[in-house]
Amino acid sequence: MIKTVEWKDGKVWLIEQGKLPLIEQYLECSTYQQVATAIETMVVRGAPAIGVTAAFGAALSAMSIETGDKDEFYKEFDIALDVLSATRPTAVNLFWAIERMRDCARRNADLSIGQISEALEQEAILIYEQDLKINKRMGENGAAILDDGDVALTHCNAGALATAGDYGTALGVIKAAHLAGKNISVFADETRPWLQGARLTAWEMMKEDIPVTLICDNMAGHCMKKGMIDKVIVGADRIAANGDAANKIGTYQVAVLADRHNIPFYVTAPLSTIDFSLESGDLIPIEERDPKEVTHIMGAQQIAPDGVEVFNPAFDVTPNDLIAGIITERGIAYAPYRESLEKLRAGG
């Protein structure tokens, strides 16, 4: 089992994704500030993983507050939650987890400060455990869309490394089909500028003994035209109420290409990734990141001239009419998504 996030002895341990696949190393975080930095710098990434990590960060903050005054405790706790909230604006699981931790703290207001901290620790552990279970259910639900012999194209990394661990979202579907005995193989877009496909998806698939072929992002259309791709499966960082889905930059063009070549394009995400407060994807905030991610390879080798203007959005939004289905832990939603997603939210 790939362990993305762990809680051990009152500390958060994160596999350092920026160092994969060459170095498998874990980062120890003993303060919520360290957790916030890890999220912001993409030591940990992927919407579900960010949510789980933020929950542990909130628990760490509560444990570190030194006061006997409950009002002061809540004031400092809210400050910590604000810091964690400011790390990544697009991934809605971040805000979902933080609000869940805030609600836990308020719900236990009658307890002592020490007991509130213990309750927050247990809530974070529960979020972690639930994420593992949800991802396995998503994988099993989505495995049915893959036929024996299918080749699935992925973009970015939506595997165990994007979640608490083990299954993942989009790659969880592929893993579940593989474990069910289906002969499934994967084409992985490299996914510039952070190369999550090249570094992480390829690494995960090789760990799982699932055949994987790495391609550059601009090869996807050629592979589709040649009949080399049967399905496209991606994850999401935020899905609007109408089914529009934000995912790693480059996903939209993959969806357009899939539509052109009549290849089904699926999104896989837990219900916590669906932002029912947003009517459409036009309202999803899109994070813009450091230009150096584009001008340099992994922050090291410079590949562009000094001073060049850079536009570096981390995500784009795929309109719902390009999506064949949205795979969740409660089943697969199909168009019209506003109705089908709401039905799954209500219990399936």
Q: Give 140's pLDDT tier (boundaries 50, 70, 90).
A: very high
Kindly report, residue by residue over 191-250, the tens digit of the pLDDT.
999 999 999 999 999 999 999 999 999 999 999 999 999 999 999 999 999 999 999 999
Mean pLDDT of 298-320: 96
Q: 212 - beta bridge partners? A: 186
- pLDDT at position 299, please? 83
Provide the 3-class DSSP secondary structure of residue 181.
coil
The percent of residues in the chain predicted with pLDDT above 90, rounded, is: 97
Does residue 348 register a pLDDT over 70? Answer: no
E strands present in the chain: 5-8, 11-15, 26-29, 151-154, 185-189, 212-215, 231-234, 238-240, 245-248, 265-268, 274-275, 296-297, 301-302, 315-318, 325-328, 331-333
Kindly report, residue by residue over 9-34, the tens digit of the pLDDT.
999 999 999 999 999 999 999 999 99
Among candidate residues 329, 227, 240, 219, the one with its CA nearest the CA of residue 283: 240
Does residue 1 register a pLDDT over 80? Answer: no
Residues 173/16, Cβ–Cβ less than 8 Å: no
Kindly report, residue by residue over 313-342, the tens digit of the pLDDT.
999 999 999 999 999 999 999 999 999 999
Does residue 186 register a pLDDT over 70? Answer: yes
Does residue 257 register a pLDDT over 80? Answer: yes
Mean pLDDT of 29-49: 96
Tokens of 185: 């193989």
* Catalytic hit among 150, 166, 230, 237: 237
pTM of the complete model: 0.94
- pLDDT at position 2, please? 85
Is 237 labeled as catalytic in the residue annotation? yes
Rounded-to-integer distance, Cα 117 and Cα 119, Å: 5
The one-character DSSP state at 230 is S
Mean pLDDT of 40-52: 95
Among candidate residues 198, 204, 326, the one with its CA nearest the CA of residue 268: 326
Q: Give 347's pLDDT tier (boundaries 50, 70, 90).
A: confident
Structural domains in the chain, CATH included, are: 5-136 (1.20.120.420), 141-345 (3.40.50.10470)
The H or E element containing residue 305 is none
Query: Phi then psi for 342, rounded to 5 degrees?
Result: -65, -40
